[in-house]
Amino acid sequence: KQEVTQIPAALSVPEGENLVLNCSFTDSAIYNLQWFRQDPGKGLTSLLLIQSSQREQTSGRLNASLDKSSGRSTLYIAASQPGDSATYLCAVRRGNNDMRFGAGTRLTVKP
């Protein structure tokens, strides 16, 4: 059974700092991995999707990497801003449909 773990559970950084969020998964036979952002009481906003054949994806200040063999993905946020404060979720897709989520990292960026 696929288990997805995110470390740390919470992170507080000053504005402008670069940071890395970690996601690990137990079964390397994945279809793809997607990073989401969730604001309190809201839905999930897709940030980046990495297919199993890819090593990384970039969007603006965000860069996500995938190492399937070690069961790890990282989300790098450059020059963090207070507006980046949210919970970041990674979700691993096994097979065609089922997506398993981590518990998330709650990020606070202090002005």
Q: Site for other proteins (CB under 8 A): which residue of 7, 78, 79, 103?
A: 103
100 lines the binding site for other proteins (CB under 8 A): yes
Judged by beta carbon, residue 7 or residue 103, the one nearer other proteins is 103
Q: Is 8 exposed, middle or buried (0-12, 13-18, 19+ CB in 10 A)?
A: exposed
Judged by beta carbon, residue 67 or residue 98, the one nearer other proteins is 98
Q: How far apart are CA 17 and CA 75, in angstroms?
A: 14
Q: Which residues sit at the interface with other proteins, rule CB under 8 A? A: 31-32, 34, 36, 42-46, 49, 51, 89, 91, 93, 95-104
